[in-house]
Structure 1
Amino acid sequence: MVLLARKAIGALWSSVFMTPVRAALDVADHHGQRAQPPVTGAGIAIQAFGLRAKLRQVDRWIGQAPCRVVEVHPEVSFARLAGTPLTARNNTWAGAQLRHRLLATAGIALDSDLGDTGRQAGVDDVLDAAVCAWTARRVANGQARPLPNPPQVFSDGLPCAIWSRPTTRPAA
């Protein structure tokens, strides 16, 4: 799944990293995790380790979620929306402007005044949230496809895939 997502994203693939196995989430610090390869078979990215509290929270929530839960990666969705991997990072002016245009072309109009949220959230975070919502709508309407297709199923029985819209048009 990660390799497929990296391929879809192209040069900006560094934003996709392996999700750690559950046992790796119980190690107290990143150094300790790296010192215990039997837990994971290899070390985990510092980004993934930093997300462990949120990963645990989602893991608990999925078991009782009142709805379908899917994984979305914003850069995969933007690449699919553009019809090609993007070359400007989301935290640059050019990257933010391109993503804003792609969303507008898809019918997602972002208000210029988001109130308190607009004063606190990063531009890249707002754009990422918008494309994730757009992809979620596509999943609900049956218009999105998983990477891989069909999704992988892990030992917990849950399907695992990154959902996005199929590539259908050239870059904006």
Structure 2
Amino acid sequence: MRVLGVDACKGGWIGIAPTAGGVSAYFAAHIAELVERADADGAVEVVAIDIPVGLADASRRRADLLARQAIGPLRSSVFITPVRVALEAPDHATATARNRALTGDGVSVQAFGLKPKVRQVDEWVRRRTHRVVEAHPEVSFAQLAGAPLTLRKTTWAGAELRRRLLAGAGIPLDGDLGAAGRHAAVDDVLDAAAMAWTARRVARGEALARPDPPEVFSDGLPCAIWT
């Protein structure tokens, strides 16, 4: 079964698809275009993506809280996803006010900065023909390693540790990745590969959902982070 791991990067999206001898890498400005490019090399059945799927109406998502618990020391890498009306706000100040009124929490600048990508996926996922699941790289790496990681991927040691974990799982990252390698940062590539590892587990029926069963909000989308 062919699968695709996806992460946002500067200028668009990067996708990693495991192959028999390595990986295929893809880059596109829009998520739909990225998946189409991957499908052109063989139909993709499962897509795992590091972006919220399923937006809460008036509460924190349990998926985010459980993901933070799962990764311990690096829990700050999991943003608490703003509620839907906050992500529809025209500016950060309005988003913060709306989110605080409903949940008691503000909205970080980083989380609000993801608004265009979140809304792009929110629109695309309703039209998709693939199975799409949300995942988080650090939760996936913790599952792959058997324990939460403590080295950040922005360090040489942290990046090398993650690359070795992926290689050991049959997802080697080496050589020329084409346009994806030219557009994406090192941590983007690592994260997309971790998403591919999770997508493969979903395809094999081995993956875990947090929470299980997933929450469902007014948008009707199952909301869980898979590993």
Establish whether TM, by shorter chain, passes 0.5: yes
What RMSD in Å do the two structures reach over aligned CA positions? 1.6
Following superposition, the deviation at residue 13 of structure 1 comes to 0.7
Q: Does 1:91 align with 2:173?
A: no
Which letter does structure 1 place at the counterpart of 2:67? A
Q: Is the 2:86–2:94 Cα contact (8 Å) retained in structure 1?
A: no
| Of 97-106 and 56-65, the range deviating more from structure 2 | 56-65
Provide Cα deviations, 1:46-96, integer angstroms capped at 9, x if missing partner: 222111111111111122111221101011000000000001001110100
Aligned residue for 2:211, secondary structure, equals: strand
Query: Which residue pairs with 2:124 in the alignment?
Result: 61
- Aligned residues with identical type, % of pairs: 65
Task: Write the mapping of 1:1-172 to structure 2, written as runs, cut at 5 A.
Answer: 1-36=63-98, 37-38=100-101, 41-164=104-227
Deviation at 1:30, TM superposition (A): 1.0
Does the Cα contact within 8 Å between 1:74 and 1:132 map onto a contact in 2?
A: yes
In structure 2, how many angstroms separate the alpha carbons of the residues matched to 1:115 and 1:133? 18
User: In proportion to residue count, which structure has more helix?
Assistant: 1
Distance 2:151 2:200 in 1: 25
- Larger strand percent: 2
Structure 1 unaligned blocks of 5 or more: 165-172
TM-score (norm 2): 0.68
Normalising by structure 1, what TM-score?
0.88
CA contact (8 A) 1:79 1:85 kept: yes
Deviation at 1:118, TM superposition (A): 2.1
Larger RCO: 1 or 2 (CA < 8 Å, sep 6+): 2
Instruction: Name the aligned partner's letter for residue 30 of structure 1.
Output: H
Q: Which runs of 5+ in 2 are unaligned?
A: 1-62
Contact (CA 8 Å) 1:24, 1:39: kept in 2 or not? no
